[in-house]
Amino acid sequence: MPECLVFRVPTRHPADTAGLLDLIRSGAVAAQEIVGIFGKTEGNGCVNDFTRPLAVMAIEAALAGCLGVTPEAVGARIALVMSGGTEGGLSPHLLVVARRDGPQAEGSALAVGTAFTPDFAPEEIGRMAQVRATAAAVAEAMAAAGITDPDDVHFVQVKCPLLTSARIHEAAGRGHTVATHDTYASMGLSRGASALGIGLALGEIPEAALDDAAIGQRRDLWSGRASASAGIELMRNEVIVLGNAPGWGGPLRIAHRVMRDGIDLPAIQGALADLGFEAAGQLSPEAGARVLALLAKAEPSHDGLIRGSRHIMNDDSDINATRHARALVGGVAAAALGRTELFVSGGAEHQGPDGGGPVAIIARVAAA
């Protein structure tokens, strides 16, 4: 049975693949074992954040050289999830996720599965077609991971597309309308549709509650394990399912909680406790070294309040609200772990309660 491997690689700029190539050359992982790569890039995380496609192009070219295939072939089989925005103290980095065959294992360990939807037409983005296609892809990724019980899933990451003026014009030329003509708003609708699809697949959200009008509007509908990041670099959804599954080997496990707001430190500490950490304060350097990844969503609350006190994230015309939220949640998470290489993604439509979001931690469990 397989073993899931996770490696954290710092980057000097969005096109930096030196650390990834060094990892492969060291023998720690083979290029053909890699199934997904999460990346935090130092762009603005908005429509015109071209650090994301730059990172994707660089990674595809680097891995193509290792595998002896075209860059397009790399992108066709490896889920590349680049999330723009490293505000505050967040550090740009890659999380390399690999699957290695091994002997039959007892118990459960970290498992990974990936899947891809077909490309969406612009008129499908942010609508029920994207919800349903995402749900089908999540089920496919769960099967690839050998996960049959949705409760064993702890985090589902989706990279999803957005609308541009050119894509809107192309749809109109074929006689179709789109969900919005606001390209920035399309990011939220795409993330929201993807998150609702995850919630549908995991049994968190009933299908009867879903229609086009619910997307981005029904804040009472959310998944506690969904994370979606929108980008200009693709037209399909790329899905990575992470959970603990029977038969998988190795020392890695994943746990998750739901942050009720951006300063919900106890949620992070709860996930750490589920993994066997004593997390009364900041982890010691020795304990922190066992944590390979923290994955979290960040979203400013729509009412402009955090526990009754006013925040200005939604009112700042100079800095986008999601950028504020990433910095806030990144700071709280960094204080808990004692490290700033954290995958904190902004825009949490239907991903946790309003103003909060899921947080998951992958760590080496202590030997029994």
Query: What residues form the annotated binding site?
Result: 52, 83-84, 191, 229-230, 299, 326, 345-346, 348, 351-353, 356
Report the relative pairing of strands 252-259 and 357-364 from DSSP bridges: antiparallel
Question: Is-contact 190 159, C-beta < 8 A?
Answer: no
Max Cα-Cα span within the chain: 63
Nearest in space to 18 (alpha carbons), one of 80, 50, 61, 69? 61
Return the amino acid letter for 347. G
Question: Is-contact 360 242, C-beta < 8 A?
Answer: yes
Give the rounded distance of the alpha carbon of 126 from its chain centre: 18
Considering 159, 194, 297, 301, which one is annotated as catalytic? 159
Per the annotation, binding residues for substrate are: 52, 83-84, 191, 229-230, 326, 345-346
Rg (CA), the chain: 19
Per the annotation, binding residues for Mg(2+) are: 299, 348, 351-353, 356
Based on the residue annotation, tell me whether 229 is a catalytic residue of this protein.
Answer: yes
Helices 18-25 and 51-67: angle between axes, nearest 10 degrees:
30
Nearest in space to 9 (alpha carbons), one of 97, 112, 109, 113? 97
Based on the residue annotation, tell me whether 159 is a catalytic residue of this protein.
Answer: yes
Considering 40, 229, 297, 301, which one is annotated as catalytic? 229
Torsion angle of C-alpha atoms 313, 319, 325, 329, degrees rounded to 10 = -120
How far, in Å, are 208, 240, 264, 283, 342 from residue 334 at the CA level?
39, 24, 13, 10, 8
User: For the chain, what percentages of helix, strand and coil (3-state, to nearest 5) are there?
Assistant: 35, 25, 40
How far, in Å, are 24, 113, 247, 352 from residue 30 at the CA level?
6, 17, 22, 35
Half-sphere exposure of 347 (CA within 13 A, CB side): 29
Q: Which residues, at least 6 apart from 262, have a Cβ–Cβ distance to it below 8 Å?
A: 298, 299, 300, 306, 325, 328, 329, 332, 355, 356
Q: How many CB atoms lie under 10 A from the CB of residue 32?
A: 15
Q: Tell me which residues are annotated as active site.
A: 159, 229
